[in-house]
Structure 1
């Protein structure tokens, strides 16, 4: 009995201990739970609170973007070449639910009344020549059932408001809830078609994502915090020329409406508007008078070549022409002409002949693509022809292949290689004894092949190609000019194609007189200016400065030397003196002594299996010969001899520059 009582007593004590343990564990768990809740609340309030507050604000306020207003592109004379025209548009933000829901149906009568009032005002103060808006038109634009845009987004009712319409709605704003007059813009280009391919054009952002620049901006949009820098899908952006090159400067910042929104995505309060900021103005170095003169000179010369025999024949396939004029001392490009051109306002207003526009809307002075083709489909990149010879002779002198006073006996042709390949002078003329200077003046192919091409190969063997290539690139041939223009072509180097040439010797022979490299007109102009600057290759500048709308200078662009080639001063004297092509009728009465070199590059095509040899006119020059001011390069595909096709264009460009700025530093217009 006693044993049994003792067992029961021990069991009771044990159960009591277990119960106490469970109660303690329970209370301890409750304590931990409350501690966790308190800590979490503290974190929410003091750590995550500001972020959650911002998130709440973002959820409650929507930013509706308004397109930015682009700055202008202004030429060196102050003429606007590209500019934005300001227009006013009427927008409405829906402050109530007017949809087909039960609540919306009750409010619909208010929307109809508002639409009726708006139509009445627009018809009273709008342009009488413009089609009148109807109540149905306005109701459709209001998009009451959110078919085209979210409930909070402003709806555009009418664009291009008259001054009277703007004044009325601004004065009676309180009478029309949700109404806003918003500034918009359209892009216009100078009607005289001034350097249109250089200026460029605009395209909607949504259609530019294949361009690296805008693909990156599209990705950046997703994390952009500043609503003024957000790109909208329908915003117009530059896709070529200066419009693209200076996109960020020209764009400015878009405005936006800050719209309070309720959980149903409807406006919940009064929207506020942040106006767009106008972009900066870009001052280009292009001068309208010189540019128009260059364009017209090419048009006139092409017409002349097609209607007047040159060297005994017409040139009906001469249908394109390209010219660049670049200041030697500053690097400023004063003219950049690519013909045919077009009216760039088609990008804003449309065209009935897009196929023609798309054939030459790109800049042929920097690229062969979509920039016009001659009658036999030759592009804007042509072989240099004899314009390479000043550099060829410089290389020969610098490599000590001959001296300034050494004479070569020109018999009218040069022979090279095991197969005794023959290169003749133009018309097979034999010039007799020639030194370096006279070899350039008479444009002797034989001299170039025998004394430079073959001798350079003898000195360096297969490495002669790399030696030649280094010289070419030092003078801007086969490298980008660094102008900054989009889509600039590097040129086509053919002298490295040994298989095509047949041997390293043949490659050097053909390269020596300009038959192994195709380059852009801008590269030719930079090459000419490098000769004029005696070895300094300068960057072509297309913009002089960036200004804000008050005329304050934001950034200036100065002369920039890209690289310098050092040669003996005696060599420079010989070569520049040799740039003295005779028989240029276009320059008969030109009052300045000037350095020049004509070129006639030959190019073979095949028609029905038959080889046809075409001649392209090329010309480079700088004036005056001493203290040069302007370098000019002209290319006329299928124009025949450069002296008769390209040189007359250059003469008119020099004359235009002399009128505006003065080749001697004294503008002729001011004198008059």
Structure 2
């Protein structure tokens, strides 16, 4: 059987296939050409930038942190240079073997390895990472002798934070610590992420935290050429960092130190304020702690000791602790009565030693009472009965409104911590407060009998020492209130220019001068013939003050006997003062936890502070709670 082929048909099919293949090849080349043009022409700048980024790395250079000094130039926080042992992972080979070999030359603790591993996860391959910090000269010498054994390992000089005075003013200054995820969120919210590249530490508390963005400075960068393996080849360009701004405080470091020593081993707080500016002269919370422990990461043992200590040294009692003000509340009650027309200075009451209200008897500290008592005598001799009656006449709404205007029950806005998040509001009692505080309807009702104890600074009253000091400063400044603050000047490290932190007047309360004179005269009397007379005997200046004793728990009608009560249940001792009376330069509030009577424990501390600040007198020794006899009515 034979087959017939059509040569022309075969030729056409071949030509068609050849043409199709040619078109296909041309289309492929066209696609390749188009892609080439897209990459090399249209997207040239984009890919050139990416290639350059792969070739050039930016290594951040951390700026020097700003220095903190007191009002007289005494350094409270500074930086010092120390040697660190650092490893560049891309050059060191096997890291585990390298670290094991290094540990035979220089001591490397488990905490050092743990920190290195964490930093390694966060760092780039070409960045050097510290494995040991603050090397001694001997350790540096030992490593230098064997450096040839460790490629990619070198000793570098780095800056570390230091607090030269240790525990002095630690609650005011605060401390720095390693950046956590919470800190990163704060930095991100503040849109400061780029400026914190390469930074390991950040302010955690106090001024270090509040002024973090002033103290930190501006991060610099070094452009480094790297190879495909991530190894640095050469430096191309360096943009130096800008050091953080310095802080000059209103604080007096010597006054602060003297005050802390005056407390001895007792718990408590003291805030001293310049009445005309609101500048803090001393801010003491005892017991205190050494902020240097936190600089390079606090050890578990040190953290456990601080965190579990029964006296809670990490708590800043000046802004976090809320305490009943006791009889230090009475001058403000008396002023409120004068301003609101509820009493006149000469209006007197007969004090039998108690005040009956309903079925309850509110007793005075002095058995048998004080006899006839006017406003002057009520403050000088701290007559409770006078203020039981006054509180009943004024009523809780009037008391709450007047005390709220002085700042009781509100944050002062002092420049400590992150904004004012660390400051307590305290408790300014009122019917509205009680409704919010309690859940059950029967608990929410305000009973008239609850107002009586409010008048002597007890009951639901609870205020921070800084609120009490601020109110005292306002009284000393004749009703003009300033926001308390710790920083006087922010100093530019490049130009040396000082940017003052201007005093911020909050309000002028408009108190009548004749009413103020009544209160001032009575508070002078406290230290001349009343409850503060022993503590201020022989003082070379005129001082207004008021002692106070605040119950920690209810005696339920029993007689207070200090020796029979556990120390942690004893009354708190308080004292407020301002001096000199013609033009007060300092106002203060003192609290000694479980210190007993204010005249016994708190007033002697105030005397030491005022003697030094006004006269330059140094105390012979810390106040002893047994030195002073209980004065008059025990306040």
Please classify the TM superposition score into its range, dividing by the shorter chain length: 0.7 to 0.9
Aligned equivalents of 2:444, 2:601: Cα separation in 1: 29
User: Pick from 513, 524, 527: which aligns with 2:468?
Assistant: 524
User: Pick from 483, 493, 496: which aligns with 2:428?
Assistant: 493
Aligned length: 548
Shift of residue 320, structure 1, vs aligned partner: 0.8
- Find the residue that maps to 1:618 and give its secondary structure: strand
Question: Please, what is the CA RMSD of the aligned residues?
Answer: 4.4
**Structure 2 partner of 1:411:** 352
Shift of residue 356, structure 1, vs aligned partner: 3.3
**Structure 2 partner of 1:63:** 58
Shift of residue 528, structure 1, vs aligned partner: 0.5
Gaps in structure 2 of 5+ consecutive residues: 1-22, 108-112, 142-149, 436-441, 557-563, 619-635
- Find the residue that maps to 1:479 and give its secondary structure: coil
Shift of residue 151, structure 1, vs aligned partner: 3.6
Any idea what the Cα deviations from partners look like across 1:95-114, whole Å, max 9, x if unmatched?
Answer: 88x858xxxxxxxxxxx9xx
Aligned equivalents of 1:366, 1:49: Cα separation in 2: 63
Any idea what the Cα deviations from partners look like across 1:403-461, whole Å, max 9, x if unmatched?
Answer: 23322222322222xx332222212342233332332222222222213x22223xxxx
Aligned equivalents of 1:159, 1:503: Cα separation in 2: 60
**Structure 2 partner of 1:278:** 243
Check whether the contact 2:271–2:318 (CA below 8 A) recurs between aligned residues.
Answer: no
**Structure 2 partner of 1:249:** 214
Please, which moves more after superposition, 630-639 or 157-166? Answer: 157-166
**Structure 1 partner of 2:492:** 548
**Structure 2 partner of 1:77:** 72
Please, which moves more after superposition, 481-490 or 422-431? Answer: 422-431
Check whether the contact 2:259–2:284 (CA below 8 A) recurs between aligned residues.
Answer: yes
**Structure 2 partner of 1:476:** 407
Aligned equivalents of 1:511, 1:425: Cα separation in 2: 14
**Structure 2 partner of 1:357:** 306
Aligned equivalents of 2:131, 2:237: Cα separation in 1: 19
Gaps in structure 1 of 5+ consecutive residues: 1-25, 101-111, 120-129, 135-139, 168-175, 303-318, 369-379, 458-463, 663-672
Residues 457-476 of structure 1 mapped to structure 2, 5 A cutoff: 457=395, 464-465=396-397, 467-476=398-407
Aligned equivalents of 2:131, 2:343: Cα separation in 1: 79
Check whether the contact 1:481–1:540 (CA below 8 A) recurs between aligned residues.
Answer: yes
User: Pick from 473, 480, 505: which aligns with 1:561?
Assistant: 505
Q: Say whether residues 1:587 and 2:536 are aligned partners.
A: yes
Check whether the contact 2:611–2:617 (CA below 8 A) recurs between aligned residues.
Answer: no
Shift of residue 575, structure 1, vs aligned partner: 1.7
Shift of residue 332, structure 1, vs aligned partner: 1.6
User: Pick from 263, 267, 270: which aligns with 1:323?
Assistant: 270
- Find the residue that maps to 2:570 and give its secondary structure: strand
**Structure 2 partner of 1:505:** 448
**Residues 41/413 of structure 1: CA separation in 2 closer, same or farther (3 Å cut):** farther
Aligned equivalents of 1:248, 1:605: Cα separation in 2: 47
User: Pick from 215, 221, 245: which aligns with 2:185?
Assistant: 215
Check whether the contact 2:84–2:134 (CA below 8 A) recurs between aligned residues.
Answer: yes
**Residues 412/605 of structure 1: CA separation in 2 closer, same or farther (3 Å cut):** closer
- Find the residue that maps to 1:518 and give its secondary structure: coil
**Residues 43/527 of structure 1: CA separation in 2 closer, same or farther (3 Å cut):** farther
Aligned equivalents of 1:431, 1:161: Cα separation in 2: 69
Q: Say whether residues 1:434 and 2:373 are aligned partners.
A: yes
Aligned equivalents of 2:237, 2:88: Cα separation in 1: 11
Please, which moves more after superposition, 261-270 or 391-400? Answer: 261-270
User: Pick from 609, 612, 618: which aligns with 2:574?
Assistant: 618
Aligned equivalents of 1:273, 1:154: Cα separation in 2: 17
Shift of residue 633, structure 1, vs aligned partner: 0.7
- Find the residue that maps to 1:519 and give its secondary structure: coil
**Residues 251/661 of structure 1: CA separation in 2 closer, same or farther (3 Å cut):** farther
The higher radius of gyration belongs to 1
Any idea what the Cα deviations from partners look like across 1:274-330, whole Å, max 9, x if unmatched?
Answer: 44432221112221211111111111xx6xxxxxxxxxxxxxxxx412111111122
Q: Say whether residues 1:337 and 2:284 are aligned partners.
A: yes
- The alignment's TM-score, normalised by the length of structure 1, stands at 0.71
- The alignment's TM-score, normalised by the length of structure 2, stands at 0.74
User: Pick from 318, 334, 343: which aligns with 1:402?
Assistant: 343
- Find the residue that maps to 1:356 and give its secondary structure: helix
Shift of residue 64, structure 1, vs aligned partner: 2.9
